[in-house]
Chain A
């Protein structure tokens, strides 16, 4: 719950209402019932005898379920209510709502219960950008249901509303004339189904995207009890009690973030964020899969398969698609359907493609699932080919990006995707194409890891040798061309002229993670990451203090991103900086404690000594997948978990305050292994900042 709004969801179907359970959306307001990126209800208001109700209390029982305790009247003076109403709502291809009316009087009472219902069938993008609709609306009573319908040419979407108790149905809602006995109760169930519609000249009977969800819904529920999900994950015990709560929160939020595609209804991948980003994002799903591999590898395997299914195969300028490119974002709403938005899917991301290969290798290292690696051999080869053939936009052998869709495509196709995220020291913005440094790291890592897969699984040593040669060459060139000698760090990017974009940013941490940085340069990078310009005391800032565009509450120009930090910590560990990695784990997990276990997407880059508490950066999405995954990756890093053949290596470097930490039953190719450690790293000096 936030801003007095209650949101519950399952997959990409979600309901956002006020605390009474009512929905009164305006064209730009974001309440409603949404499914497959379309709003299916924009009005849903309950009245008793024409009166609105007041909320006594509201519980989000589970992420898919909420309960509202209500009494009639809207006055501010409290009067003992003679009546109470309980709404229990659960999301399911739309939602299911139980309305219970309790009469507290010693005599029967006659009541008129009314539900007003309407839908504007807005596309999510229309809600964001306040665009006008182009189709026609209709409302009708049909076979005991109120049907709200929208049609634009062959595109049809419908909302079906029915009740278990007999109702009088009109075009604007359902009415119940009832008598509730003395101290008795009355109950009806309301069922709201979000449905597509078959094209008029087709006999296929396809119910559209929403219809598919319906069929698989029951099975999914059975397979995915929350308790079962948590029970399958390793068990965590820690002397520092907040860590146990953070861990549990992460697992619960990950459960809510699970998303099933139409092509794999029985498997789950991590969607990017709740509720507005409950869809496949190449980058977010991959990063979250990497973070969560030691805890639930299913998310990674589904992500890999889903992204391979949708891998680019052609040149499409509108979608920024190339052969071999891994998609960025997929959407199902009206604007996508009419090609007014490119999300069918949209491919404008330069990191998802190399990261796809990185994830495939990391997944195999943990699970030993060589079958998936064989199944995806062509996809991985196509991805590697994209790096060389399609991503070298500057003609210098580096991965770069520039959108071809100049109206609705993404300008910055790296994870820092806001307009000012990549700048020179003086604040000027580089032109396009841009080759940001972390992309080179990912490309290097993709080649190194693919070489291993080629040798071990694909049995193609010639390909492996070629990849290793290319990786070594890339590393050599990169350490020469990106190194800012007077700063002792790597430039954030090369611009279109091959000139260094010379600001210091957190991107350098990803270079440690990918292994592209020369060992001799790593100490200087580590010193910057934990130094006063980048490290706030809670975590590494996205942009260093002292850069012209630095702003502690700037989205990608000073704020601290937990996800970013988790990969930076992994990188530090990779180069042997155990204490530095422990400091980041301590800082970010300390922030997680303040945020009640749920890390926001980003928080302010103010020095810890100034604000005492981390300051949340306001965003619409919470929980967000890769913030949810950050504590999990930090646990892995702090415990020093590394797969080594059929064994799991454990080499803890834990902050002192953790005391004893046990992660029991870590799953992998070794079946299950316990990882234990004791906090011995004194992080106080750096965290005092």
Chain B
């Protein structure tokens, strides 16, 4: 499946202080994402920056991903403020929590947004590691009961 970008609307080089632009550009560059195999959905992200709204259209088609600024019909239209979007694409806020909190508004398919969340990064300070705990430590914690 070829990657489709609308003519003339391919995202340009993001400037350094634009994590949202960097995220979407990197996403489009990946082109194929395993967790999106056999998934198809179009999402439009409207990111409000003061009066200005920056638009990103993400087309997922059986694992291939195309990203542009095009306008178009989308299964889910997702609106949020730039500051919140930056926190989400850098893993500082969890997207599901943001939605429950009212930071993200989703019109249309919640399923499409749930799927999309699978390509978001985890918190920057998460290491996946934890120091082992000995039996003695566990017992000491329980003893004063």
Contact = CB atoms under 8 A, between A and B. Distances in A.
B17 interface: no
Grouping DSSP codes into helix (H, G, I), strand (E, B) and loop, the B interface class, with mixed when no group exceeds half, is mixed
A554 interface: no
B96 A344 contact: yes
Nearest to B101: A337
12 contacts: A156-B102, A196-B102, A198-B102, A209-B100, A212-B110, A311-B35, A313-B35, A316-B122, A319-B94, A404-B126, A428-B139, A496-B132
Contacts of B125: 317
Interface string B101-145: 111011101110011001111110111111011111111001000
Given A332-B100, A429-B135, 19 more contacts: A155-B101, A155-B102, A156-B102, A199-B105, A204-B79, A204-B106, A206-B106, A262-B111, A264-B111, A313-B35, A314-B126, A317-B130, A336-B100, A338-B97, A339-B97, A377-B38, A378-B38, A382-B35, A420-B142
Contacts of A212: 110
A68 to B, nearest CB: 34
A463 to B, nearest CB: 14
A201 B103 CA distance: 9
A317 B127 contact: yes
A208 B119 CA distance: 23
A562 interface: no
B102 to A, nearest CB: 4
A263 B38 CA distance: 17
Interface stretch (A228-236, A286-294, A430-438): A430-438
A378 B34 contact: yes
Contacts, number: 145
- Which of the four size classes fits the interface of chain A? 35 or more
Interface string A473-498: 00000000000000000000001100
Contacts of A336: 97, 100
Interface residues of B, number: 46
A344 B96 CA distance: 6
Nearest to A378: B37
Interface of A: 153-156, 196-199, 201-206, 208-209, 212, 262-264, 309-311, 313-319, 321-322, 332-333, 336-339, 344-345, 374-375, 377-379, 381-382, 390, 402-404, 406, 419-420, 428-433, 495-496
A315 B128 contact: yes
B48 interface: yes
B81 interface: yes
Interface pairs A-B: 7 shortest CB-CB? A204-B105, A314-B122, A337-B100, A263-B111, A154-B102, A199-B102, A316-B122
A39 to B, nearest CB: 16
Given A263-B111, A263-B114, A314 B120 contact: yes
A338 B101 contact: yes
A426 to B, nearest CB: 11
Contacts of B134: 431, 496
B77 interface: yes
Given A263-B110, A313-B35, A318 B123 contact: yes
Given A155-B100, A337-B100, A309 B114 contact: yes
A349 B121 CA distance: 21
Contacts of B19: none
Given A156-B102, A314-B121, A201 B111 contact: no
Contacts of B11: none
Nearest to A321: B122
Give the interface centre of A314, A319, A403 by most chain B CB atoms within 10 Å.
A314
Nearest to A376: B38
Contact of A375 (B38, B77, B109): B38
Nearest to B96: A344
B35 A432 contact: no
Contacts of A420: 142
